């Protein structure tokens, strides 16, 4: 489910249904996700109005006058708008019931996600404090990435997936961006030239923006119960294509493991 484009798609999908709406009550069907779900949400949230629906990296932030609800979807999480009273399925762990009869429902089979309530200034929250810039924001540019990379010996793929470097570049788009930029995923981050970083920055922004744009079409039927995306699958160049021919040079795409994540690349196009 959640690469940055999907989280952003989720944000855009739920925002019109929950912003400026009043929370009636919370239904907790399970106490823990990755961490305990802050118990205080059951008493603090009812009566509050959701004022903002924003995103930092892959964290969704629901702002109220009392505090901020931090939601992460982990590997398998999703958020849906359903009608109040709708039967909950196996992995529907939390319902945020609104006064208007709608419910924001959190589902997460693997429970790698989290739901945390923060009443202190949100920027200083430990999970958010050391995050790098947004890939689609102004702070993410060639100079930044080049400078940041100079002291790093890690492979470029690992480097761009590090949330302290830049947020939101998950495994799929790290693979895709490196292919588009023609950079070998194994190359050491500190040994890549500035012009190549310029290209990489462009490719990262482009691939993420494109995916968000396509996600926009999924947006319309977001409230449908059966949300199968697969909308970006068509445009994937390397991810999930191990052993298949490169779309550019027909060479066989190779797969390796980097930091227990699979990397697929074209040995000829990526150097």
Active-site residues, by number, are 2-3, 58, 261
| Rounded distance between C-alpha atoms, residue 49 and residue 64, angstroms | 6
Query: Per-residue contact track with DNA, 102 to 141, x per CB under 7 A?
Result: -------xxxx-------------xx--------------
88-107 positions binding DNA, by CB under 7 A: 90-91
Name which of 269, 244, 245, 267 is nearest 256 in CA terms: 267
Query: Per-residue contact track with DNA, 154 to 183, x per CB under 7 A?
Result: x---xx--xx------xxx-----------
Residue pair 75/1 in contact by the 8 Å Cβ criterion: yes
Residue 147 token pair? 């400078």
38 or 158, CB closer to DNA?
158
Stretch that binds DNA, among 2-10, 44-52, 95-103, 132-140 (CB under 7 A): 2-10
Q: Rule CB under 7 A: is residue 13 a binding residue for DNA?
A: no
31-90 positions binding DNA, by CB under 7 A: 32, 34, 57-58, 72, 74-76, 90
Residue 197 token pair? 């970083």
Name which of 114, 44, 49 is nearest 77 in CA terms: 114
Stretch that binds DNA, among 1-9, 37-45, 46-54, 79-87 (CB under 7 A): 1-9
Q: Rule CB under 7 A: is residue 251 a binding residue for DNA?
A: no
List the one residue from 2, 67, 132, 135 that touches DNA (CB under 7 A). Answer: 2
229-248 positions binding DNA, by CB under 7 A: 229
Residue 45 token pair? 């949230």
| Rounded distance between C-alpha atoms, residue 22 and residue 217, angstroms | 28
Q: How many residues does the chain have?
A: 271
Bridging pattern class, strands 68-72 and 114-118: antiparallel
Q: What are the backbone angles phi and psi of residue 115, rounded to the nearest 5°? A: -135, 110
Q: Rule CB under 7 A: is residue 193 a binding residue for DNA?
A: no
Q: What are the backbone angles phi and psi of residue 136, rounded to the nearest 5°? A: -100, 10
Interface with DNA (CB under 7 A) = 1-3, 6, 32, 34, 57-58, 72, 74-76, 90-91, 109-112, 126-127, 151-154, 158-159, 162-163, 170-172, 189, 229, 259-262
């Amino acid at each position: 489910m959640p690469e940055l484009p999907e989280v952003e798609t989720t944000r855009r999908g739920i925002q019109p249904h929950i912003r400026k709406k009043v929370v009636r009550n919370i239904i907790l069907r399970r106490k823990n996700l990755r961490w305990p779900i802050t118990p205080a949400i059951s008493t603090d949230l009812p009566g509050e109005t959701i004022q903002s629906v924003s995103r930092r990296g892959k964290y969704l932030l629901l702002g109220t006058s009392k505090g901020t609800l931090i939601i992460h979807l982990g590997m398998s999480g999703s958020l849906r708008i359903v009608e109040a009273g709708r039967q909950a399925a196996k992995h529907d762990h939390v319902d945020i019931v609104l006064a208007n009869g709608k419910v924001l429902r959190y589902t997460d089979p693997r429970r790698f996600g989290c739901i945390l309530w923060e009443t202190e200034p949100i920027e200083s929250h430990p999970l958010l404090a050391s995050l790098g810039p947004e890939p689609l924001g102004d702070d993410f540019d060639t100079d930044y990435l080049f400078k940041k990379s100079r002291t790093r010996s890690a492979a470029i793929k690992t480097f761009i997936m590090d949330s302290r470097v830049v947020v939101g570049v998950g495994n799929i788009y790290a693979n895709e961006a490196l292919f588009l930029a023609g950079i070998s995923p194994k190359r050491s981050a500190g040994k890549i030239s500035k012009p190549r970083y310029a290209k990489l920055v462009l490719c990262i922004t482009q691939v993420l923006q494109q995916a968000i744009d396509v996600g926009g079409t999924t947006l319309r039927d977001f409230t449908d119960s059966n949300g199968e995306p697969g909308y970006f699958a068509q445009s994937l160049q390397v991810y999930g294509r191990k052993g298949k021919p490169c779309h550019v040079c027909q060479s066989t795409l190779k797969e390796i493991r980097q930091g227990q994540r699979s990397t697929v690349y074209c040995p000829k196009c990526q150097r």
